Structure 1
Amino acid sequence: MSDSVIDLGVLRHGPDPAPSPRPPRTNGRQLRVALVALLALLTLAAAGAPQPRRSVVTLPAQPGADVLVDGDLAVVIEPTSTSNLQQRRLAAYRLPGGEPAWQAPLSADARYWGIFPLGELLVVTGFEIGPRGRDVTTIALDRATGAYRWQQPGSADRLVDGNLLLRSGGESEPSVLRVVDPCCGTVRWQLPATTAAIIPRETERGLDRLILNPPDGPVEVRDATTGAVLARADLRPADGGRFGLEVLDDLLLVIDRGSGAVTAYGLDQLDRRWIRPNVTVDFALDCGPVLCLRTGANQLQALDPATGEVRWSSDRWGWAWGAEDRLLANVVGGGNSPGRFVVLDAPTGQEVAVLGQWDLYRRDRGGPLTAVRKHPDGGVVVGEVDMRAGTVRKLDVLRDATGDCQVTDSHLLCVGPGTYRLWQLRR
């Protein structure tokens, strides 16, 4: 399925390497969360009175196709033939009935992986084969008709003001940043090619800040909507050693890989807030009311974001993900046995509840978490997570679903036997 704005990132649990890997970063695109835990420890209430027959829409798309559901439209990126899987098209279907709406051809020499809606547009990103090899390209189509609007090089991210940030290059070549008006691709502002590492700050509405970290110069914080420099400072360690940057809410963390110091700066002015010495950090996480550090000592530390003081620490949790004043954390260890996730009270680290074996999906950041797991008699069980209570409320059992789902406002899209099916959720 596509990595689209519905996704929150996929967090699947496997054997814990040492040190634990950093979980995928949740980006302001659609976010899809899959959290897998130990055998179900939650008892789900048995079905009550008979429910009315739900409507099920079958989409003519093979498993593995990229699918996006946005409001009254389901969009599929699929091959046009079985003999040439690189030749693809975009096919749209009207909901709730699933009737064909339109089709649009895509370049034969390309492989597309991302699609997201933006106002009256659908934005598609992928690799296109050109003279220099694989070049990332973005295409904008009319959402209502599939009509071609424009195409430009680079991968696309939405900004908080509704414009698009396009980034091309990177890795072995300089990056080029430019912001375009989605209506027609007109450039609003752009930067010359740069070798700086580029770190965005993501919000629920899109990107709003860009941090540029050149290999031998001062760090810059820019307003993503205008390109204006908000702050510039040399944050390199005194010994000139390696360091990393992490953006968490309104803080920029500078992680000195040599001395093990973590220094927090206010993002928009790069004013120093606090410093925590002698800690080896694998990665940092936004844990709601606390700031989480995964340390080289295999500990999860929760810090006060205002002072850097440790609220609590534990070697039981590999990583944590915040929701309100609760955390979802995975348990370290267990050998080859399945992992399990717990609900923690964020300020104290106290264990509130243990969740069962679920994949969790969210339509929007801050929205409800829909829980899906396989039913022992076939199909999947669907529930809704109550983080406050540490429980999962059963919504339905979908007998023809096999998993690999995404959630919409009121529907769940899952792989069924040989195709995709869309079920209306009972909330």
Structure 2
Amino acid sequence: MSERMIDLGEVRHDPGEPDPLPRPPRAVGRPLRCALVLLAALVTLTAGAPADRREVVVLPAPLGAQAMVVEDLFLVIDPAGPQGRQGLLRAYRLPGGEREWQMPLPVQGRYWGMSAHDDLLLVTGYQVFADDGPGPVTIALDRATGGRRWQQQGSALPLPDGSLLLETGDDERGRLLRVVDACCGTVRWQLDLPPGQLDYRPDEASGADRFVYSRPDGRVEVRDLATGAVRASADLWGPADAGQIIAQVIGDLVLTVDRTTATVTAYDLDGFGRRWQIRVDELLYVSNCGPVLCLQGRGAGVVAVDPASGRRLWADTRWGGVWPSGDRLVASVVDSHGAGSDTEQIAVLDPRTGRVLGWWGRWQLALPGTLGDGFVGVRPYPGGGLLVAELHDTDGTVRRLDVLRDAAGECQLGGALLICRRMDGTYGLWPLRR
């Protein structure tokens, strides 16, 4: 059951930083008695004013538990016991924290992923003891009751038509792909792929619709995830380059990254017509940065290119991680982790020019529960607890919201709630003051 308590929150300026407005000059020569009268009045007003109180829901969570916000549920997986006791999944309804159900997980293993899919809750983990050997497993539960619908080997990826792709294996051993009906796990089609690389074209709204499979000898295929059928294929490199070139898919492009020559070559997704080629020192991979492509290597920095032409738009050695947010980029400074914390220096960029639109400063981002939750940052507060702020990606501004004196970290967003670990190891559900 959830526990409710009263938390005394604070919203005030962060000590150690300059005041937002200059203080007026201090008057000279005022009698001491005036100062004492003023002090007494302030004490009286402070004592008579009600404290800023709000109700906080406290949820239990043992050491080693995994917790995650999935839409309107807060899910906690208790770890399996040392004698082989099954892990326990507990679901709490947001925003009130009422316990909806709890269910022993039928497979012993280490669980890391939970997601909603229509009326299902998908739980993904890694089982060590299985007839077919160790590997990922997906368990489909009824969201309303926690009852088990089905379980199968593989990690799950949603597809646009509502079905699920289950993948097992890796680059060296090859892979087995199976597309199943979400309702009951019935297999629609399956495909055994020999050793090679696999990359999916993601879709934030509906999962993925195609994938690119590349063999070590340079044969690259684009396949339809609805049927598994080959849509296009080509030989893009030779056996001598095996292990040095990877293939990625971003938008309508197949991109080959040659780590020997540090070049990226772009091809049409549907016909492998060559679009452009660019060279970047110490190149490792390409990432989707919204309206641009971000090329990153072993060293620090990002090179942004135009996906239509391959033209280099800008380069900056300051950035380590970069990811898109609407028509902006959010970037973290290389090696900017705060001492003893997970905070980073974060900025907001213009994707086409690389210009810094605003500095958020040093924060740890709370994990969003759903798309559209926005950005909320937390960082340690002097004297204990966490400072909470709303981070705006439109202009890079920061609006401070709260100080949670009993919060320790591991924060996630759940609609109008901020959910964080407390000092005693439990989780607290604090109303988010936006």
* TM bin (shorter chain): 0.7 to 0.9
State the distance in 2 between where 1:219 and 1:40 align.
57
Equivalence for 2:268: 266
Compared CA separation, residues 132 and 414, structure 1 to 2 (3 A): same
Q: Choose from 394, 399, 412 the match for 1:388.
A: 394
Which of these residues, 331, 340, 354, is aligned with residue 349 of structure 1? 354
Aligned equivalent of 1:182: 182
Cα offsets for 1:249-305 (capped at 9, x unmatched): 322211122333211112233222111246541222222222221246744211111
CA pair 275-105 structure 1, distance change in 2 beyond 3 A: same
Moved more, 391-400 or 63-72: 63-72
Partner of 2:126: 127
Instruction: List gaps (5 residues or longer) in structure 2.
Output: 1-14, 22-48
In the alignment, which residue of structure 2 is the partner of 1:247? 249
Q: CA RMSD in A?
A: 3.0
Distance 1:161 1:392, change over 3 A: farther
More helix by percentage: 2
SS of 1:188's equivalent? strand
What corresponds to 2:314 in structure 1? 312
- Residue equivalent to 1:24: none
SS for the counterpart of 1:301 is: strand
CA distance in 2, matches of 1:391, 1:98: 32
User: How far off is 1:135 after superposition?
Assistant: 3.0
Q: 1:290 to 1:88 in 2, by over 3 A?
A: same
Aligned partners of 1:62, 1:400: CA distance in 2, in Å? 17
> TM-score, normalised to structure 1's length?
0.81
Q: CA deviation at 1:99?
A: 2.9
Question: Which residue does 1:203 correspond to in 2?
Answer: 203
| Structure 1 residue 256 corresponds to structure 2 residue 258 | yes
Query: Do residues 359 (structure 1) and 359 (structure 2) align?
Result: no
User: Offset of 1:371 from its aligned partner?
Assistant: 1.3
Q: Quick check: 1:138–1:151 contact (8 Å CA) kept in 2?
A: yes
Q: Decide whether aligned partners of structure 1 residues 224 and 260 sit closer, same or farther in structure 2, where only a CA change above 3 A counts.
A: same
The Cα of 1:86 is off from its aligned counterpart by: 5.3
Matching residue within 368, 378, 383 for 1:377 = 383
For 2:302, the aligned partner's letter is L
Give the aligned partner of residue 39 of structure 2.
none
Instruction: Report the more deviating stretch, 141-150 or 324-333.
Output: 324-333
Structure 1 distance, partners of 2:337, 2:233, is: 47
Verify the 8 A CA contact 2:303 2:316 in the aligned structure 1: yes
Please list every run of at least 4 consecutive aligned residues from structure 1 whose deviation after the TM superposition is greater than 6 angstroms.
39-45, 49-52, 333-338
- 1:360 maps to a residue whose letter is L
C-alpha change, 1:421 and 1:193, in structure 2 (3 Å) is: same
Task: Quote the offset at 1:64 in angstroms.
Answer: 3.3
Distance 1:85 1:387, change over 3 A: farther
Change (3 A) 1:115 1:356: same
Distance 2:53 2:162 in 1: 40
1:422 partnered with 2:429: yes
Q: C-alpha distance in 2, partners of 1:149/1:238?
A: 45
Work out whether residues 291 and 351 of structure 2, in 8 Å CA contact, stay in contact via their aligned partners in 1.
yes
1:372-409 superposed Cα distances (whole Å, 9 cap, x missing partner): 11221322122211122211112222222111011122
The yes-or-no answer on 1:321 pairing with 2:293 is: no
Q: CA deviation at 1:111?
A: 2.4
Single out whichever of 178-187 and 125-134 deviates more from structure 2: 125-134
Matched-pair contact (CA < 8 Å) for 1:86–1:111: no
Paired letter, 1:122: L
- CA displacement at 1:140 relative to structure 2: 0.8
Change beyond 3 A, Cα 1:181–1:357: same
Return the index of the structure with the highest Cα Rg.
2
> Residue 40 and residue 277 in structure 1: after superposition, are their counterparts in 2 closer, same or farther (change >3 A)?
farther
Identity %: 46
The 8 Å contact of residues 44 and 392 in structure 1, kept in 2 or not, is answered as no
Q: Which sections of structure 1, spanning at least 5 residues, go unmatched? A: 1-38
Tell me the TM-score normalized by structure 2. 0.80
Q: CA deviation at 1:41?
A: 7.8
Partner of 2:159: 159
